[in-house]
Amino acid sequence: MDASPDGLLFHRLSFLAYHPPDRFREHHLKALRDDRLVGIISLAEEDGEGGRELRSPYGGSFGGWVTAAGLDGDEHEALLEALVVHARELGCTALCLGSLPAPYRTDGEWADFALRRRGARVARQEITHVVPLDGSEEDVRGRLRPKARRSARKAERLGTAVRAGGADDLPAFHDLLVADRARLDATPTHTLAELQDLTRRRPGDLRLFLAENAGRLVGGVLTFCCSPRIGMDFYSVRADVPEAERCVHLLPEHCLVDARARGHAWFDLGTSSLGGEPIPGLCRFKESLGALPFVRATWRLELD
């Protein structure tokens, strides 16, 4: 996988292994052509609308094939056909495969083209907002719209400062995350134990940034290094207190600058739609940080 430019953190078994062994029925497959490894994929069997389905991703943001560079259209169609044969042998009724948004791709869109030719349909699509990080640090800061820059500076004037966190800060961050999601009648995807496990498994790929005011934690962002090219804001939280004012602009500014310094070309701020419906305020907020909207599609191929 290290040889593929499109391989992501979410494809790695060391990431997926944070799941309890009985949570999914997993299939980790590799494809060979003339004894050459041309692709790998991780999938899981799950109950779906018409029976048992084989899905990728599972337990992560992105999945699908990780392929050797330069595969042509015929090779992508052969990969898909081999996957169809495997799914049918398992008795599955459908394949559900996530498609990488454009910034994550370096080798074109043959995979999507093969799915459409095979009769797959887009079952779901969401918008994800991704910030380009080309240019200097000042160029990155300059992509923030004036109101966002003013808000970040106001947070600093109010006494808020951002620092990098460590493993010892995860419990306090997770407490704040639980409280933040509870206001939306939601729960975090990961438990504290799972985040701690991921940090141990992939210590260089999770970075924590904390916003503090007068020694009090008022906000935070946990980022994932998806690949050498792309970083991601996975969890953003703020406290429901006056001291947290404007930290939602200060924190991402620090994340963007840090991601550029690490050599990333893009920074993903995450999905801005729910059930295919854009969330207007969230879209405006992310675009104020310099982000561009890209489609994140899920394909469904019926196997009847």
What crossing angle do the helices spanning 192-201 and 170-182 adopt, rounded to 10°? 140
> Does 1 map to a domain?
no
Closest CA to 283 of 267, 298, 269, 266: 269
pTM score of the predicted model: 0.93
Same-domain check for residues 151 and 260: yes
The label of the residue with tokens 């004036």 reads 146
CATH of the domain at 24: 3.40.630.30
Q: Cβ(56)–Cβ(97) under 8 Å?
A: yes
Q: How far apart are CA 224 and CA 233, in angstroms?
A: 7
Residue 245 is predicted with a pLDDT of: 85
The reply to whether 239 and 150 lie within a common domain is yes
The first and second tokens of residue 148, run together, are 């966002």
Q: Range of 226's domain?
A: 134-264
pLDDT score of 3: 60
User: Across the chain, which distance is largest between two alpha carbons, in Å?
Assistant: 63
The answer to whether residue 253 sits within a structural domain is yes
Domain count for the chain: 2
In this structure, are 260 and 138 located in the same domain? yes
Inside any domain, residue 110: yes
**Same domain (yes/no): 241, 181:** yes
Do 188 and 107 lie in one domain? The reply is no
Whether residues 28 and 100 share a domain: the answer is: yes
Contact between residue 211 and residue 219 where contact means Cβ atoms under 8 Å apart:
yes
258 with 140, same domain: the answer is: yes
Do 210 and 220 form a contact (C-beta atoms < 8 A)?
Answer: yes
289 domain residue, yes or no: no
**Residue 206 and residue 167 in one domain:** yes
On whether both 98 and 139 belong to a single domain, the answer is no
User: In this structure, is residue 279 part of a structural domain?
Assistant: no
Domain match, 98 and 180 both: no
Cα–Cα distance, 266 to 18 (Å, whole number): 26
Whose tokens are 């306090």? That residue is: 172
In a domain, 17, yes or no: yes
**pLDDT for the residue 156:** 96
- Digit-by-digit pLDDT tens for the chain (304 residues) are 456 778 899 999 888 888 777 888 999 999 999 889 999 999 999 998 778 999 999 878 999 999 998 899 999 999 999 999 999 999 999 999 999 999 999 889 999 999 999 999 999 999 999 999 999 999 999 999 999 999 999 999 999 999 999 999 999 999 999 999 999 899 998 999 999 999 999 999 999 999 999 999 999 999 999 999 999 999 999 999 988 988 999 999 999 999 999 999 999 999 999 999 999 999 999 999 999 999 999 999 999 7
Does 97 map to a domain?
yes
What is the token pair recorded at 106?
């370096």
Same domain, yes or no: 93 and 146: no
- Looking at the fold, whether 239 and 118 belong to one and the same domain comes out as no
Determine the pLDDT at residue 2.
59
Positive or negative, the CA dihedral 151, 236, 10, 206 is positive
Does 277 fall in a domain? no
